[in-house]
Structure 1
Amino acid sequence: MENCTIYSHYIAIEKIIPILKQYFPSAQIEITGTEQNWSQLKLTIGKSLWKKGNTFTVYYRQRLHPDYKLVLSEEPLIKNLISLYNFVSSFPAQNPAIYNRLLQKITTLNVEISFVAEPGFTDTHIKCILSIAQALDGIIFSNPNSVFQALGMYDKNGVLLLSNTGKSDAETLDVSIESKYYDKVSGDEPDERKDRTNGLLQSHGIAINTHLPRIVNKSEVTIRTPYEIAERVTVLSLINLVAFNSVEPLDAIQYFKQYGLWDKVTANEKDLLENPTQSKKDQATWQCEGIWVLLWALGKAEAIPFPDHLCSLNDLDFYPFQGFDQDPNKIIQQLDHRRTDTEILDNADLYYRIDWACVNARIKGQEMAIVHPGVVYERHFALNWLIRNRDQEWDDVTCDT
């Protein structure tokens, strides 16, 4: 018998059974509960009249009240997560950055999925487990076995994050938090949002300024409409391809004019297209971060990743510019939904305060190793545009802290 456990911040129980069926299409599955709400799955694999078959059992539990931090509780899963935190924190660490990120990630966990294979793991078991880990952005705890050979924690790809001897093979670890989990804990009052954000920053070891003012409340702001956001991100998506030398500037100009979007191109963007230089293009490549934020606001990206590295737009399933033969206005019209005011304001407040920490570190001559200051600035910029900070248009947005 061999076992391991996935821990995840994301609650997505509905994703697990389809993945199991994908890897074990002929298995018999006994469900304790329903397909939408179960605590145990028992898969019998290879059973026939002449063979008993092997078993693969999956156990699931989640926090009663999902959160982004650990608070002492008698809830069994909370107690187990605190024990896991204490156990991992006792490990030595050859890579302090991974060690600290791992401890931060443990505090955000909401879900535990345990796997038991009899007589042991096969290649198919491991592919299935890693697919679930990837779907839930999970981390894996395992005792030594035929696959995970060291006692310790592994990332969603099965790479060793930290063993009990301090060894680490990983280069990075993302720590992502869904705002909806802490939205429910507090209301929408700006002072509560500020306190909530500061608590989140503290959990990541990011400096806070308790005297930094609050941002606007829902009643004080008119966040941009889905149509405005869709127009802006559609223009940006083609400018981005010009910046990366994938599209010729003159072709982009012709496209914008053909479909009536030239007046939506800003003065700075027109300067880039009409007088292109590599320096201007290099600067424009940073707008990948703003594109991600705007697509997130339109619900086309699941989350805004932790800002410790540049985003990759190739990771998205949707991109606004879909070819010169496609009418962008039809795409814009279809992007008719955006996230709630609370979600957008929460992230605007978050990046406002992270940006302050970056500026503070720069003024003091300190390295900002926890986050990437350039990434933070570009996302802060896009969020300020979304909330109409000072009623500034795209070229004029400021990120004062």
Structure 2
Amino acid sequence: MNHFTIFASKNDVDDIQDKIAEVFAKGFTIERGDSGYLVKSKGLFKKSRCSITVLFEDTNPDYFTQNIPGMMGYYDRIPFQDEDLKEQVMIQISVFNTVIAIEMDKEITENHMQLFTRLLASIGGVGFLPDGTLLDQSGSVIVYSNGESGPANFRPQACARKIRSQEVTSEQGETRKNRTIAFLTDKEIPYATSLPQLPPLEGCRFKSQEEIAKRAVSLLIVIQFACDVAQNGNIEESREFFTNMLRTYEVQESLTEHEKFFLETQHPSPQDAVNISWQYEAYWTLIWALGLVEELDFPDDVCDCEYAIQVVSRCETFEQFYKQTVLRSKEEILDEADKIYRLHWACVDSRINGQVAPLSLNESVVMERRRGLFWMMGYQDEEWDTISMDT
């Protein structure tokens, strides 16, 4: 074994460098690198070195988006001896926002483990061994890899920011969650019972019919510009044409700041163009909510782009477009949001485990549908471009 990882839930990591320096003060030299620290023993004999990488959710969001769902899935599948302990472990994993990954150049000795446990105690996190065993901050075993309980008297700890964002449970949310799980079970799609409920209706800030309609029209127009950019079209002509379209439909103010920048910049990024083009799938949820799409089919294929364009292009003004819309109920929108949320978990879980997504789920389609649905329900007041994709 030459790896030891500390997971924690902290408001900041400003003191971590000092804690590393304190633990390795005697007999070691510490070099600061771009991605962390290199710790070398000073002795002439039995020399060792280890790299310590520190990751924080605010600065390394991709790591947490890609790895925490997999960690939750891993422990969800372990047959815990104590179901209450399993729930506590799952809660703790869900609030991790700091990782300190230690890699030795040789096998970890008992002396090394003592040092690593001291670092664990000073940071106040959970220790993770390569076989899946978890340690509390004192070094006592919380749970072994086979699900057997250890001697630690474990209770999860979370930083203030994570506590504020924790799940609000309700009978309505549980009913909705169970309904989605029944759908997934029927289709033999894996799911995580630990994945939280979505808020009840009264806990959401739903967008109005007019807000959704204006967002749909403005998004479709900027998508068309993005498609031209991605296909190496005449950018200036395209920019002028679609800017005039925005004025015609009077929806300029419904663009996001990122979209405004993309539309106005002299040399739009090709990658941004591709990313925005994918938002056809988010747009599809908007026109579904407006009653212009009969149902959201299973997300294993892309939407009907030709029809998606026609629902707007056949209208000469925004008012004409708006008059043909009928907003679906908040319950319908929330039901679909819950479904896509849990389908997203299935996509991430299969990807992390090197498996094909169940029933050919298209993760890109799922993510963009989630963007649209979560935006409409006003999930945590997140903006369009920053909808959280955590699972």
Which of these residues, 222, 225, 234, is aligned with residue 217 of structure 2?
A: 234
> Which residue identity lines up with residue 344 of structure 1 in the other structure?
I
**Secondary structure in 1 aligned to 2:297?**
coil
C-alpha distance in 1 between matches for 2:309 and 2:271: 29
Contact kept? 1:231, 1:332, Cα under 8 Å: no
TM-score, normalised by the number of residues in structure 2: 0.51
Report deviation, 1:315: 4.2
C-alpha distance in 1 between matches for 2:314 and 2:264: 22
Change (3 A) 1:365 1:256: same
Counterpart of 1:345?
Answer: 334
Which of these residues, 188, 191, 194, is aligned with residue 211 of structure 1?
A: 194
Contact kept? 2:256, 2:384, Cα under 8 Å: yes
Report deviation, 1:336: 5.2
Matches within 5 A, 1:243-322: 243-245=226-228, 248-257=238-247, 260-275=250-265, 276-315=268-307, 318-322=310-314
C-alpha distance in 2 between matches for 1:208 and 1:389: 21
Which of these residues, 353, 371, 386, is aligned with residue 364 of structure 1?
A: 353
Counterpart of 1:374?
Answer: 364
Counterpart of 2:31?
Answer: none
Report deviation, 1:366: 2.0
Structure 1 gaps of 5+ residues are 1-186
Report deviation, 1:263: 2.2
Change (3 A) 1:268 1:316: closer
C-alpha distance in 1 between matches for 2:309 and 2:317: 19
Which of these residues, 374, 377, 384, is aligned with residue 387 of structure 1?
A: 377
Say whether residues 1:223 and 2:206 are aligned partners.
Answer: yes
**Secondary structure in 2 aligned to 1:309?**
coil
1:20-58 Cα deviation digits (max 9, x unpaired) = xxxxxxxxxxxxxxxxxxxxxxxxxxxxxxxxxxxxxxx
Matches within 5 A, 1:9-48: none
Report deviation, 1:217: 1.1
1:309-346 Cα deviation digits (max 9, x unpaired) = 111222459522447xx333x13542553101111110
1:140-195 Cα deviation digits (max 9, x unpaired) = xxxxxxxxxxxxxxxxxxxxxxxxxxxxxxxxxxxxxxxxxxxxxxx982111111
Change (3 A) 1:210 1:314: same
**Secondary structure in 2 aligned to 1:244?**
helix
> Which residue identity lines up with residue 272 of structure 1 in the other structure?
F
Change (3 A) 1:388 1:259: same
Contact kept? 1:234, 1:321, Cα under 8 Å: no
C-alpha distance in 2 between matches for 1:214 and 1:354: 14
Change (3 A) 1:189 1:383: same
> Which residue identity lines up with residue 353 of structure 1 in the other structure?
R
C-alpha distance in 1 between matches for 2:195 and 2:269: 39
Report deviation, 1:358: 1.1
C-alpha distance in 1 between matches for 2:308 and 2:245: 23
- Percent identical across equivalent pairs? 31
Say whether residues 1:197 and 2:180 are aligned partners.
Answer: yes
Based on CA coordinates, which of the two structures has the bigger radius of gyration?
2
Matches within 5 A, 1:154-169: none
C-alpha distance in 2 between matches for 1:337 and 1:232: 15
TM-score, normalised by the number of residues in structure 1: 0.49
Matches within 5 A, 1:80-99: none
Contact kept? 1:238, 1:321, Cα under 8 Å: no
Structure 2 gaps of 5+ residues are 1-169
> Which residue identity lines up with residue 273 of structure 1 in the other structure?
L
- Root-mean-square deviation (CA, aligned residues, Å) is 2.3
Contact kept? 2:189, 2:358, Cα under 8 Å: no
> Which residue identity lines up with residue 368 of structure 1 in the other structure?
A
Contact kept? 1:289, 1:311, Cα under 8 Å: yes
